[in-house]
Structure 1
Amino acid sequence: MKTKTYIFLQVCLLPCLLFSQLSVINLEECQEKARENYPLIKQYDLISLAEDYTLDNLAKNYLPQISLGGQASYQTQITKIPIKIPGYNIPEMDKDQYKITLDVTQLLWDGGATRSQKKITQANSDFEKQKLEVNLYTVREKINQLYFGILTIDKQLNQLDVLTSDLQTNYNLVSAMLKNGVAMVSDLDLVKVELLNTDQKRIELTTLRMAYIKMLSLFIHEEISQGVELKLPDNSINFDQEISRPELRMYDKQNLVYEAKESTIKAKNMPKFSLFAQGGYGKPGLNMLNSDFKTYAIGGVRLSWNFGNLYTKKNEYRLLKNDRNSLQSQKETFLFNTHVQLTQIQNEINKYEQLMVKDDEIIRLRNSVKKAGESKYKNGIYNMNDLIGDINAENQARVTQSIHEMQYLQSIYNYKYTQGN
């Protein structure tokens, strides 16, 4: 009794277990997983780390700068006071001198140089990330090609099933007619050859599908079963939407880098203020006429202003303007080429729409010719070669229709990819 119950449960649960092994995926899911698992995505974290380290180093510009120095020297001549006072010996400097100093500088204002460097760092980081986004965007196109390649193969495999069923029906018909002596063995052999040809095509398509599935698995970093069901993508499209490609955002980020560099030019031509302090021990001290080792200290405010940058300021602005004009030219060229591509793809979409309308009519007529051929063959006024030709012609019409359907869908997604939406 227990054995019977176990067998019954196995039979009941088997369909559920088999069903659970079949996965269902869609195009958007594949695109997102491929992006997340593409090796280049790791560059995002590296760019952010580099930005953090650079900004942290720039922030340290306003920390006190400490330096230690020392010096021992001997000079052949010394400064003397050219005055003699009777009864008083004016001390002289020693020719050997020694000192060790500790200098501390605190930046008060650097003319905006640190702030402008931070802007450049952040702008460059944003630009590098957006450039990375452009490279990652190309992965979508590869996924589209694989996904629609698998869908096209599935369509062809379905048509092979229809063809096989059609040929098998005629094989059974010829076998029955052969028994009744109203058909030839060669007719049966012709149908067998076509069935074998169909098996060969199925092997080729199945092998190609396995290769596409494996490549798609590598991209999304997940194992996909060979029995996977690929959902048919949505065929809706809006031709009026504006271009929203990541390349356009990359050009905008590059322009922000130029703006940040402009602030650097201004900062180079501004004065810099800082506090300084120096403590020392040496011979002599601050009193040059005292030959004993003494400690001393100096402190104050320092101003520095480099006017040499004014000579190159005008040309630096011109160079930046030239870079911006070049960037604008690149952006306009990209938009022009993209609009041309969109026009071409839109024409392709319109072409496939018209072809699919004709496909329905061609299939209807081919089916009518095939049925007429089958009727003629039964009546002995049609040979098997001609009938097989009619069967293959109808099958080819259906295959052509399925290919047009997939090309139509793929053109829609090529348009969306080119458009950036």
Structure 2
Amino acid sequence: MKKKVYLFLGMLSFSLGGMAQNMLITLEECQKKTKENYPLIRQYDLVSLTEKYNLENLVKNFYPQISLNGQASYQSDVTKMPIKIPGMNVPTMDKDQYKITLDVSQVLWDGGTIRSQSVITKANAALEKSKTDVSLYAVQDKVNQLYFGILTLDEQLKQLDVLTSDLQTNYNWVAAMLKNGVAMVSDLDLVKVELLNAEQNKIEMQTMREAYLEMLSLFVHESLDPSTKLEQPGDILDWEHEIRRPELSFYESQRGLYKAQESSVKAKNSPKFSLFAQGGYGKPGLNMLEPDFKTFAIGGLRLNWNFGNLYTRKNERKLIENNRQQVNVQEEVFLFNTQVQLTQIKNEIGKYQKLLEKDNEIIQLRNRVKLAGESKYKNGIYQMNDWIGDINAENRARITQALHKMQYLQTIYNYKYVQGN
């Protein structure tokens, strides 16, 4: 029984190990993991915290405002009675005065200032988050380039394997011919050289693939070993999809900020009412003619209306409208440039579609030339150099087709990226 359990566990670990070694990852997964782990993602939380603290501070402006004030002074002259009244001793104020007060004020109506500042704070937070969206979206293009770079290398490695297999078959065949005295040693050496060249190219591409995988690992925040397989994405594309780039939300956030600033202009030109109270101890008190230290208190309703802001109100609104128009122009330019870019990429997609059709024809013809060269070599009317040239020409045609296929897919996803889909 124990042996069966150990055998089962061994098979399970082997199966899991095989799964780990052949991990498959998609482009969508890479984009998702990059967005979740890219350092800039923490900017959203920081912006939200800043917004929260600013809003809390604004609300606290409605709390009673308390201040402690003190003053000691000496003046060169004091108020005196201009006449003397017989039989009366009119006191004279002292030239040294002392006062300490506790002032309390409570806002009743601030003209909408705090409310407008709250709206501006929220608009600023939305703008900062939109900026972060734009920066994070740009990272997607880097991930796309790495992903398709690895896929391109995979396709080239596949063609190298086909070439190596073809050359190895020919090497064995020429070696057999050499034993039978119908081939030369130099022919065998030529095939061996091509095998070594293929191995060198494979080493270079594998090294480059590992480097690309390491960079992609940093973006997805996950270890990707050389055995990791990348799924080839599909070529489905919606030409009529509207542009949904995060830059458009950024422009909208800017307009939202300017709209919030308009309410601030109105609030600055409104009257403000508050209650106030003051309690103190000083010399003199409220009775200026009493020279002794006294306690005192005063309270009431205060009105504050700054008419100076009326002079600049019109220009402030014009400046806000001017800023809004600038954003509209920037958005129009962005949409125009994006549409031009999409048109250019669309033409490139059509180009690669046509190239792939020709690639199939070229490969078929190159294969026929290679087979004809093989027959000629066997009949002794073809040199090994010429035959190897035919083999390499067919391999180059297959590599070109693989490159065009990857360029075709990458261009489709570049179109999606520019489109915002």
- Do both proteins adopt the same fold according to a TM-score greater than 0.5, normalized to the shorter chain? yes
Residue 204 of structure 1 aligns with which residue? 204
- CA deviation after TM superposition for structure 1 residue 193, in Å: 0.9
Q: Matched residue of 1:308: which SS?
A: helix
Change (3 A) 1:113 1:346: same
Residue 110 of structure 2 aligns with which residue? 110
Change (3 A) 1:255 1:5: closer
- Say whether the 8 Å CA contact 1:78–1:94 is kept in structure 2: yes
Change (3 A) 1:189 1:75: closer
Q: Matched residue of 2:222: which SS?
A: coil
**Pairing 1:323-342 to 2, within 5 Å after superposition:** 323-342=323-342
Residue 166 of structure 2 aligns with which residue? 166
- Paired residues, what number? 421
- CA deviation after TM superposition for structure 1 residue 293, in Å: 2.6
Q: Matched residue of 1:291: which SS?
A: coil
Between the aligned partners of 2:40 and 2:16, the Cα distance in structure 1 is 39
Residue 53 of structure 1 aligns with which residue? 53
Q: Matched residue of 1:239: which SS?
A: coil
Equivalent AA in structure 2 for residue 278 of structure 1 = Q
Change (3 A) 1:108 1:350: same
Residue 186 of structure 1 aligns with which residue? 186
Q: Deviations over 1:6-61 (max 9, x none)?
A: 78985896455333332110001111111222222222222222212211111111
Q: Deviations over 1:86-137 (max 9, x none)?
A: 4444444333333221111111111111111111111111111110111111
Residue 413 of structure 1 aligns with which residue? 413
Between the aligned partners of 1:375 and 1:65, the Cα distance in structure 2 is 101
- Say whether the 8 Å CA contact 1:22–1:225 is kept in structure 2: no
Task: Give ranges in structure 2 of 5+ residues lacking alignment.
Answer: none
- CA deviation after TM superposition for structure 1 residue 62, in Å: 0.8
Between the aligned partners of 2:96 and 2:384, the Cα distance in structure 1 is 121
- Tell me which moved more, 209-218 or 181-190: 181-190
Change (3 A) 1:12 1:43: closer
- 1:293 equivalent to 2:290? Answer no
- CA deviation after TM superposition for structure 1 residue 224, in Å: 0.6
- Tell me which moved more, 171-180 or 400-409: 171-180
Report the RMSD for the aligned CA atoms in angstroms. Answer: 2.1
Residue 384 of structure 2 aligns with which residue? 384
Residue 246 of structure 1 aligns with which residue? 246
Identity %: 67
Residue 261 of structure 1 aligns with which residue? 261
Q: Deviations over 1:163-208 (max 9, x none)?
A: 1111111112212222222211111111111111111111111111
Change (3 A) 1:12 1:56: closer
- CA deviation after TM superposition for structure 1 residue 81, in Å: 3.6
Between the aligned partners of 1:5 and 1:294, the Cα distance in structure 2 is 96
Q: Matched residue of 1:69: which SS?
A: strand
Residue 399 of structure 1 aligns with which residue? 399
- 1:67 equivalent to 2:76? Answer no
Between the aligned partners of 2:8 and 2:382, the Cα distance in structure 1 is 53
- Say whether the 8 Å CA contact 1:22–1:229 is kept in structure 2: yes
Residue 271 of structure 1 aligns with which residue? 271
- When the two structures are superposed, what TM-score results if normalisation uses the length of structure 2? 0.95
Q: Matched residue of 1:282: which SS?
A: strand
Q: Matched residue of 2:243: which SS?
A: coil
Between the aligned partners of 1:137 and 1:415, the Cα distance in structure 2 is 14
Between the aligned partners of 2:12 and 2:131, the Cα distance in structure 1 is 55
Change (3 A) 1:20 1:104: same
Task: Give ranges in structure 1 of 5+ residues lacking alignment.
Answer: none
